[in-house]
Copies of this chain bind each other. A is one copy, B any other.
Amino acid sequence: MSKEPTRRRATIKDVAKAADVSAMTVSNVLNERLQFVSPATKKRVEREIERLGYRRQANARNLRVAEQRSIGMVIVDESPAFLADFFTCQVVAGLANVLNGADFTLTVQGMHGDQLSSSMIMRNFEVAGFCAMISGHDADRHAAIRQLVNLDQPLIVFQEPIALPGADFCTIRQDDCGGGRLIGDHLLARRVEDFLAIVPSQDWPAIEMRVKGLRESLAANGGAARLTVITAASESFADVQEAVARYLAANPLPGAIVGANDPIATAAMLYLFDHGIRVPDEVRIVGFNGFEAHRYARPRLTTVDSPAYALGEQAGKAMLSRLESGRFERPEFVLPVHFDPGATT
């Protein structure tokens, strides 16, 4: 045995004894109440803290001061690799950065929808507030939100355009509807008259908003252009290509294909390539939520850049301000998207 297995971690008392002061003085040094401690004492205490490797026990402190220094990020998703989604990942990164900067910690918890009610966050009280990214069908998502609201803690939900008046609640999302309009305007300016939109069967509100924006754009243009929306069984490569194949078997080539997101648009584009259909000459293609990796594909997809990272940052700021002031400044934040023209339109 190279080490005693259970050396007790130094406490504030140990430091006090070693520095020959009272525990209170150590506490004052730790919390920088320098008015109450002479510089000489401070130095002595700090030396002992260093020497003993003392670290404050967050549990005891938080218990005493009755506050939490962590924010929970709950991700409800059917996929076991919940966090692996690039969008979610960006959001979490932005959130964690802002919180860490304010000496808050981010506690990540992923789970399936049916696990929420039995999860630790429901049984324990250990964070100051929650942020949530929830996937699934409308009913499931709303049920999850209701459960979280009932926790009676500050709650921020991403990409969910709902209002819960009176609740300690805030929603943060990107302007998907505006993004849809930008796509519509861009294509209309190129005289596209026949639009095909491809959406995944699981309809996220964000995707509904994108289609809504597209419709608005067409309507504002006089309504001459037509829009068909088809559903792919999933976002997978094969399902998207199958949906495109089925559509094209029964219909003429559309002027433009609008994918609900980049993977869908890319799958559609590759299908066209494989069938000798030229992009953008014969069909224009647009995606949504441009991700880093897609910048590297050729031809470069026209898409709408998502402010996913900024969404997370905004959530962090909103949560910190909520904790400070007692209430959310605004019930909803909508961040602008950025249209990113590529070579496919």
Contacts and interface: CB of A to CB of B under 8 A. Distances in A.
Contacts of A55: 122-125, 151
A57 B53 contact: no
Given A56-B124, A59-B59, A297-B297, A111 B100 contact: yes
Contact of A270 (B97, B126, B270, B296): B296
A247 interface: no
A105 B103 contact: no
A277 interface: no
A250 to B, nearest CB: 26
Most buried by B among A70, A83, A89, A110: A83
Contact of A94 (B59, B81, B296): B81
A332 B289 CA distance: 38
Given A93-B81, A94-B81, A293-B293, A100 B109 contact: yes
Contacts of A326: 5
A344 interface: no
Contacts of A151: 53, 55
Question: How many copies of this chain are found per oligomer?
Answer: 2
A2 to B, nearest CB: 5
Contacts of A97: 80-83, 110
A201 to B, nearest CB: 20
- Counting contact residues on chain A (CB < 8 A from B), the size range is 35 or more
A309 B53 contact: no
A331 B9 CA distance: 24
A270 to B, nearest CB: 6
Given A9-B125, A326-B5, A108 B105 contact: yes
A106 B296 CA distance: 32
A92 B100 contact: no
A245 B123 CA distance: 59
Given A94-B81, A105-B120, A58 B125 contact: yes
A345 interface: no
A267 interface: yes
A193 to B, nearest CB: 28
A22 interface: no
Given A81-B97, A97-B80, A294-B296, A63 B57 contact: yes
Given A96-B108, A100-B110, A293-B293, 8 more contacts: A56-B123, A58-B126, A69-B120, A80-B97, A92-B108, A106-B109, A270-B296, A297-B298
Interface of A: 2-3, 5, 9, 53, 55-63, 68-70, 80-84, 86, 89-90, 92-94, 96-97, 100, 103, 105-111, 119-120, 122-126, 150-152, 166, 237, 262-263, 266-267, 270, 273, 291-298, 309, 326
The 10 closest A-B pairs by CB, nearest first: A293-B293, A83-B93, A58-B126, A297-B297, A89-B89, A266-B296, A84-B93, A55-B125, A59-B63, A58-B124
